[in-house]
Structure 1
Amino acid sequence: MASRLGSVTLLFSALLTIALLILPLANPLLASLLDPKNGFVGGLGLEPPVGEFTLPPGVEGEARVYFDEAGIPYVHASSDEAAFYAVGWVHASLRLFQMDVFRRVGLGELSGLVGDAGLEADRTAATLGLRGFVDAEWRHIQENPEFEEVEKIVLAYSAGVNDYIEYALSTGRLPVEYRILGVKPSPWLPQDTLAMAKVLALMLSYGEEDLVLDRLVKRWGPDVIVDFDVVERSLNMPHAACSTATTWGAVTGLEGPYSPTLEVEERREPLHKPQPLNLGYTPDAESLARLAEHVMYMLSWATASNNWVVSGSLTSSGKPLLANDPHLSLTAPGIWLPIVISSPGYRLAGVTVPGVPLVVIGRNSSVAWGFTNVGSDFTDFYRYQWVDEDSYIYRGEVLDQEESSVETYVWDPLSRSYRVEEIRVARTIHGPVTERWGEKFAVAYTSARPTFEMVFLWLLNKAGSVVEALSAQRYFYGPPQNMVVADAEGNIAYSPIGAYPERAGLPTLETSQGPIVNTGFLPFNGSMGEGEWKGFKPYSGLPILLNPPEGFVATANSKPFSGSCWEGLGWDYADRFRTERIYKLLREKAREGPLEPGDMRSIQLDVQDLGLQTLVSLVTSVAESDARPGYENYLETLASWAGSPAMDADDYRPTLALLVSWYFARGFWEGLYGSEDHWRFLKVEYIEKALTAYLRGEDWVLKYFPDGVLEEIAYRSIDEAVETAEAYFASPKPEEWVYGEIHYYNPEHILSEVLGFGECPAPGGPFTVNVAPPGSVSPSRGVPVEAGPSVRLVADLSTSLLYMSLPGGSSGVPFSSFYDNLYWEYCEGGYHVLTLGGKPTTSARIVFGG
């Protein structure tokens, strides 16, 4: 028996050897994975390194890094600088390529990593001047003694990242993406960390909704704005009422924003020059194209988020509870890296963005905090009467646009060389010039200036009370966030503070229902001097909630406040349905008894879809107004589901509800807009207003949808839904169209589906608290969910615990034990516990000493 086993082992070894020699010749991805120095087989770079390492000169003390059973790093250090050096080293060991991508987007240098596919992102950053602003921010931090601690944190973090890069280059631990691209990672600079705020701002607040609405107005006239309630949003549910608000200045005693006068110099040359990585093979164009495509996708999703905070008066412990689940693209790896940090000056637990040393969402010993995006208007466009290509009219004068250029390096992975690309930048009196849909506009954008989010984050991480956390917002510009915060003393607050433009010379539009003022929702006439920014609204007068009378407050991207205190501050808010559902659940659970952390988790996992219920009910009513034979069973199924609109994975009815809604919304938008382009601009509340009016017999709807058109869209959406389900399930029986089989998570790696996390059923829908919007719909792939809760967090201020559910793992290295281990727990609605100040029972994996 032993000799037979030995023969089998020998045969297997021989076959494996042959495979390792032959397969790389046929597949460049395998070649990179199996490269004898830089591949997983050669470098054994699957798991986090183990060993003792030396801290660089100037960083005193010692740091030890433990990993719990789920691979979450716990950093314990005897000095703050040693702690953040270790954080940088650990971040790079787990997510180096992801960090590289993000910093380059913020600096306009993505094409230096991924080639021509990154040029569009680089042009956007160059147009907005982000590279020069980041330089100015870093100089200001260095020159001001009050920010000395921030400077030390960023420098220590950068040193940690760079020491890991050197370690990886010498030991063959470079991430596989660099081997595919044939380029080395450039050293990490302090500006790279500051650039991360610019990336998040671009993802969350730089939008062209004004231009989409402009095209609607050109097609239908300004009545389209009031007919569909695009700006007023009377159907929306605000997070709070002005009558219960106080002001930020009344609570903090401060003015804001922090706005020093800085000298900003346009930085022409890139910060990072590509350096070739010598490989023994040539990457294939297909793998390179996929990598570039997925890098751009990773940066494209900005969906929605939920957070809420509950006073200790409603909890069993007598201390507040705080919950947050930001909704972003679901990729492998995800955007967040959880961590616990313990040092003399910091006790933190939460999630970080790789590239940023501090906790973005989480808690310290005294305070917990969370964010959702404010759907206000932070980007304005100005059109002009152009005299020629380079001159325009402004207030009766002819002005020349200012012109300059910046450079970016464009890497060619096939030749392993780069070229220098000149990006021409033009500016008018209102801002940089961009071209969209054949027309030139100048653009004004909140984050296109020096901002100090790193200072804000530092003060927030150190805050000892709600008031101190709110005071940190003086340094926060954008994108403005709905911040909820709680402290161990029992205080809770909600604050949407940030840089809201102060506009002058606002024009009026005439509609059949009276005049409306363009507060920034349409492009301004720059030649007439309309809508010019005069700075930002003083923070001191902006509304916030402190210890609200109901004992809790929730935000889910709908309108922040109802009433005059929020007038003119935004319009492109999310539909009300998640806000409505969260408030309903909180009120129900509070009536049942004191609230526990488990109640917060159950709300985060709720799958009742009030938005689809509203849409499906209206669509079925429209269809039934023109009853057609053969549709009775489908209409009954839709009505049955709408009676209790749970998006359960094991039910078949949500499949039909989601597909019909998907196709109806696209058909409705195509009829209104003229094409399916930019269809995600559409809100269910716009459809709701129109269909409700149509069913009441109001004639205004017929201007947009003549008699019979809406019925045709309704029946066509049912036909398309049925065709899609029948093809995907290979069955005409609706009872076999199980929702969790067609609607699923499958976060993909940027290189290959093989390196993704795998499929699991996705309960929930586009408007559930546990949001799961379809990324696409097709008969072959079904309805993959490409965005959703990128992390779920629940903080209990009566303990040192932080409950976390993460769709992935801490590591970005495929095949690592910590790559996708938490993903399967996430699929099942499970949570992992982080302990503030805790230390796993295992010995330290990494030790940094003098």
Structure 2
Amino acid sequence: MAALLAAGLLLSACAALSPRAVSTDARIAALPTTGATVERPVTIRWNDHMVPWVDAETDRDLFYALGLVHGHLRGAQVALLRLVARGRLSEAAGPFATDIDHALRILDFGRAAPAVRAAWPEETRALMGSFTAGLNHAVMNGRAPPEFGLLGLSREPFTEDDLIAIGRLAGTDVNWLGYLALLPSRGTPGFDRLWQRTVAAGSSAPEAALPEGRRLAVIRDILAGTGRVGSNTVAVAARRSATGGALIGSDPHLGLIQPNVWLAAGMRSPSFHAVGLMVPGLPFLAIGRNADVAWGGTNMRAASSDLFDVSGLPAEEFRSHTVRIRQRLWFSAERQVRLTPHGPVVTDAAVLPRRPGDVIALRWIGHEPTDEITALLGAARARNGEEFRAAFDRFGVSAQNMIWAGRDGRIGQFYATTIPDRRAIPADPVLDARDPAATAPWGRLLRTPDLPHVVNPRDGVLASANNRPEPLGGRAPPVLGFFFSDSDRVERLRELLASRPRHTPADIMAIQADTRSPRAGRLAAALAARMAGIAEAAPLVAALHGWDGDYRAESRAPVAFEVLLARLVPLLAAEDRAEATTNRRAPESQWNFITAFLLRDLDALDPARREAVLREASRVAATDLAGLSTWGEMHRLPHAHALVNLPVLGEAFFRYGDYAVGGSRETPMKTSHGLVTARHNTAFGSMARHVSDMSDPDANWFTLWGGQDGWLGSAAFADQVPMWLERRSIRVPLRPETVAVEFPRATRLAPR
């Protein structure tokens, strides 16, 4: 019987494990148009890369067609996002994922959906209903994706609440990763100092050092890979542009996995005329432009959550309910979820790290009825920067540092979020739920209109890169968070923007591909000076001589620098953090900690011990260096499907290869990594690019790491990989006559 079951599973999986090649024309022809419910004729045009451009006579038809396209191109991906957002991974992965699902049910990304839906304006309700109907038409009437047989999934229509939950998953608070990394150490010797240093460094939460564990690694991949956790955005005012129009460039940083978490599209209807990047399963443009305004956002890394110790609350303040988790090929499991006035009790999740006995609740803005969908629908129709900012009045998660460029030549920046009004950084990441001062900020929520903004800065350029929030328009921001990216990326972006009086779109594209880290160059020079005269360090000093911090793929200096860090950082762990000496994933391994404290800690040692530490680190690092070649040979960009994480089958069938790549943790072209001494893969970084020139409605370029089509075997599944590597882009114009030429294939939807 077991053999028959295994054979049946293998047979059902064949379409995914050995997908049939499908041409672009065949995939477009497979779009299920029969029975589509549109009011007026709709035309969907396609280019060679299967980028859709939808032209509709009514707004409702536009969003129906967009939903149809999302379901056709990314139906399997949206189905998997629903499994994650709804805590239903066990339906595909079996008992392995039960504890993961329990954690996801506790986080409950769909908790606020009914309240969000009830507060929608009538227009949002109508457009969301049309989008969901189109998505469901494709999902229920098209061919079942190859992954369904492998994962044991069946067709299931989406609800609007499902899509809201997916939106909240994309709006995950990046700070959760930082919290999870710190919780197990609370109360241990040296924790107070670790927290103080963490806040001082502004440690970058996506690179947070979580404890080892396969299930926890899945949680980490979910939170860092699906949320909008990173990005660069730059803007140039018309007076600093060689074309006469304002310029903007955005490159989001997320998980480097296939299918891409973005989908490029163009659209026109009576109220909408825009192009940009959409999240599969959601009806808005998160990055893009219309005729009058272009925009991009970087995650502000704001703390839209607080942790509360609820162990001292009376029993009547806890509510509990049972959730049933269906498990593939096994019986259903039951778990308890407890809720308090301060949020769900996250320490009830066995898979999440914490100290024994902790009872900690998570309060998150994502559990409140903010309205990101209405905000971004309004943003896509803004006619100037002021209208664009006003659209974000009720925006909540994830907090974004928004930058815009206008057809009028102006540029601007503002903070888009709903956030507790904190007056100070807490002394502990876990607050006392019984302390009125700790809970008071949640009674004083700040929104976008309350926060600083700037229009037309004096130097005519703007840059954002997940760095610590800065004053805008002469106003300092309130306490917005604790964990931010190092200032290395934003420093380099500003350096490049200042390097010439006027910029072209090609210059913006070159900035996106830049691989230099100024702080790495300065730190390498400082370390080389301190190692002078140490015989064991001679090969490292020679390799680092004159290095400016450029992580070019063909360079050898980054190899010397990184192996030196990997050997030196653990040796410099503080005495009260002795466990960090053997843990390469300790908080001290993060780039923020390294740039803030490495030289300070090294110089604080007495001279004899400092020389001994440098000698030992150099001895081992020189051996590492002798066995390695260039940075690109050591630092690899993997090309793999999300199913690569499947046990047994994943690596064999869903890893397609890897490529030499430049960049590092905090270079403009981000390809993140930790402490490394051998060949390794980057898993997080630059995975899409957008540039627009506001002097020309057709001057808009996009590239995805991967391709537009999520269908395994499709010609458009990975056709943009060479383009991404070669820094080429796809033009997505606004003028209808240009669209007709460059998007020659047409699909027409007719009213019944």
Q: Same fold (TM over 0.5)?
A: yes
Give the corresponding residue for 1:557.
Answer: 466
Match among 165, 185, 189 for residue 215 of structure 1: 185
2:294 counterpart letter in structure 1? A
Give the corresponding residue for 1:679.
Answer: 586
Per-residue CA deviation, residues 566-603 of structure 1 (Å, 9 max, x unaligned), is 2433231111111111111111122xxx2111111111
Provide the rounded CA distance (Å) in 2 between the counterparts of 1:29 and 1:359: 39
Asked if residue 204 in structure 1 is aligned to residue 204 in structure 2, the reply is: no
Provide the rounded CA distance (Å) in 1 between the counterparts of 2:9 and 2:671: 35
Give the corresponding residue for 2:145.
Answer: 175
Three-state SS of the structure 2 residue aligned to 1:636 is helix
Three-state SS of the structure 1 residue aligned to 2:459 is coil
Asked if residue 466 in structure 1 is aligned to residue 385 in structure 2, the reply is: yes
Provide the rounded CA distance (Å) in 2 between the counterparts of 1:632 and 1:621: 11
| Contact 1:809/1:818 (8 A) holds in 2 | yes
CA offset at residue 41 of structure 1?
Answer: 4.8
CA offset at residue 161 of structure 1?
Answer: 1.8
Range 762-771 or range 55-64, more displaced: 55-64
Per-residue CA deviation, residues 168-225 of structure 1 (Å, 9 max, x unaligned), is 3xxxx32222111222132111112211221012263534438728937742264555
- 1:733-752 aligned at under 5 Å gives the runs 737-749=629-641, 750-751=643-644, 752=650
| Contact 2:672/2:682 (8 A) holds in 1 | yes
Match among 683, 696, 706 for residue 808 of structure 1: 706
Provide the rounded CA distance (Å) in 2 between the counterparts of 1:824 and 1:767: 23
| Contact 2:584/2:675 (8 A) holds in 1 | no
- 1:660-671 aligned at under 5 Å gives the runs 660-668=564-572
Per-residue CA deviation, residues 319-362 of structure 1 (Å, 9 max, x unaligned), is 21111111111002111111111223211211111101221111
Match among 345, 354, 367 for residue 433 of structure 1: 345
Match among 535, 544, 548 for residue 453 of structure 2: 544
Give the corresponding residue for 2:519.
Answer: 611
Give the corresponding residue for 1:791.
Answer: 688
CA offset at residue 64 of structure 1?
Answer: 2.3
| Contact 2:87/2:101 (8 A) holds in 1 | yes
| Contact 1:311/1:547 (8 A) holds in 2 | yes
2:477 counterpart letter in structure 1? W
| Contact 2:230/2:252 (8 A) holds in 1 | yes
Provide the rounded CA distance (Å) in 2 between the counterparts of 1:489 and 1:678: 48
Provide the rounded CA distance (Å) in 1 between the counterparts of 2:239 and 2:695: 13
Match among 774, 795, 802 for residue 673 of structure 2: 774
1:762–1:203 distance in 2 versus 1, CA, 3 Å:
farther
Provide the rounded CA distance (Å) in 1 between the counterparts of 2:587 and 2:39: 52
Provide the rounded CA distance (Å) in 1 between the counterparts of 2:608 and 2:12: 59
Provide the rounded CA distance (Å) in 2 between the counterparts of 1:214 and 1:42: 48
1:118–1:458 distance in 2 versus 1, CA, 3 Å:
farther
1:849 counterpart letter in structure 2? A
Match among 248, 255, 265 for residue 339 of structure 1: 265
1:564–1:434 distance in 2 versus 1, CA, 3 Å:
same
CA offset at residue 94 of structure 1?
Answer: 1.6
Three-state SS of the structure 2 residue aligned to 1:335 is coil
1:371 counterpart letter in structure 2? G
Three-state SS of the structure 1 residue aligned to 2:745 is coil
Asked if residue 131 in structure 1 is aligned to residue 110 in structure 2, the reply is: yes
| Contact 1:488/1:797 (8 A) holds in 2 | yes
Three-state SS of the structure 2 residue aligned to 1:86 is helix
Three-state SS of the structure 2 residue aligned to 1:198 is helix
Provide the rounded CA distance (Å) in 2 between the counterparts of 1:421 and 1:677: 36
| Contact 2:519/2:549 (8 A) holds in 1 | no
Give the corresponding residue for 1:153.
Answer: 127
CA offset at residue 711 of structure 1?
Answer: 5.0
Provide the rounded CA distance (Å) in 1 between the counterparts of 2:590 and 2:677: 22
| Contact 2:42/2:748 (8 A) holds in 1 | yes
Three-state SS of the structure 2 residue aligned to 1:188 is coil
Give the corresponding residue for 1:820.
Answer: 718
| Contact 1:196/1:355 (8 A) holds in 2 | yes
Give the corresponding residue for 1:89.
Answer: 68
CA offset at residue 792 of structure 1?
Answer: 1.1
Match among 573, 580, 583 for residue 484 of structure 2: 573
Give the corresponding residue for 2:366.
Answer: 447
Give the corresponding residue for 1:300.
Answer: 224
Match among 542, 559, 573 for residue 636 of structure 1: 542
Provide the rounded CA distance (Å) in 2 between the counterparts of 1:802 and 1:203: 30
CA offset at residue 299 of structure 1?
Answer: 4.5
Give the corresponding residue for 2:293.
Answer: 367
CA offset at residue 119 of structure 1?
Answer: 3.6
Root mean square deviation, CA, Å: 3.4
Give the corresponding residue for 1:482.
Answer: 401
1:206–1:221 distance in 2 versus 1, CA, 3 Å:
closer
Structure 2 length-normalised TM: 0.86
CA offset at residue 740 of structure 1?
Answer: 1.6
Range 347-356 or range 177-186, more displaced: 177-186
| Contact 2:552/2:631 (8 A) holds in 1 | yes
Match among 433, 449, 457 for residue 526 of structure 1: 433
1:746 counterpart letter in structure 2? P
CA offset at residue 42 of structure 1?
Answer: 11
Range 673-682 or range 88-97, more displaced: 673-682
Three-state SS of the structure 2 residue aligned to 1:747 is strand
Provide the rounded CA distance (Å) in 2 between the counterparts of 1:633 and 1:677: 23
| Contact 1:109/1:122 (8 A) holds in 2 | yes
Provide the rounded CA distance (Å) in 2 between the counterparts of 1:26 and 1:296: 33
Provide the rounded CA distance (Å) in 1 between the counterparts of 2:201 and 2:513: 27
Unaligned runs of 5+ in 2: 205-212, 348-353, 645-649
CA offset at residue 130 of structure 1?
Answer: 3.5
Per-residue CA deviation, residues 1-30 of structure 1 (Å, 9 max, x unaligned), is xxxxxxxxxxxxxxxxxxxxxxx9999667
Give the corresponding residue for 2:350.
Answer: none
CA offset at residue 544 of structure 1?
Answer: 0.9
Match among 55, 64, 84 for residue 105 of structure 1: 84
CA offset at residue 117 of structure 1?
Answer: 4.1
| Contact 1:64/1:844 (8 A) holds in 2 | no
Provide the rounded CA distance (Å) in 1 between the counterparts of 2:97 and 2:575: 34
Per-residue CA deviation, residues 355-377 of structure 1 (Å, 9 max, x unaligned), is 01221111111111101011232
Per-residue CA deviation, residues 640-679 of structure 1 (Å, 9 max, x unaligned), is 32xx222111222222223323443455458664233753
| Contact 2:272/2:381 (8 A) holds in 1 | yes
1:202–1:680 distance in 2 versus 1, CA, 3 Å:
farther
Unaligned runs of 5+ in 1: 1-23, 142-146, 237-288, 387-391, 507-516, 730-736
Provide the rounded CA distance (Å) in 2 between the counterparts of 1:689 and 1:54: 57
Provide the rounded CA distance (Å) in 2 between the counterparts of 1:28 and 1:111: 16
Give the corresponding residue for 1:20.
Answer: none
Match among 466, 477, 497 for residue 586 of structure 1: 497
Please say which structure displays the higher CA radius of gyration: 1
1:112–1:202 distance in 2 versus 1, CA, 3 Å:
farther
2:457 counterpart letter in structure 1? P
Per-residue CA deviation, residues 756-812 of structure 1 (Å, 9 max, x unaligned), is 453222111222111112268464xx1212121121111111112211222110011
Give the corresponding residue for 2:647.
Answer: none
Provide the rounded CA distance (Å) in 1 between the counterparts of 2:192 and 2:31: 67
Three-state SS of the structure 2 residue aligned to 1:360 is strand
Give the corresponding residue for 2:40.
Answer: 61
Asked if residue 836 in structure 1 is aligned to residue 734 in structure 2, the reply is: yes
- 1:687-706 aligned at under 5 Å gives the runs 687-694=594-601, 701=604
- 1:722-733 aligned at under 5 Å gives the runs 722-727=622-627, 729=628
Three-state SS of the structure 1 residue aligned to 2:363 is strand
Provide the rounded CA distance (Å) in 2 between the counterparts of 1:492 and 1:108: 41
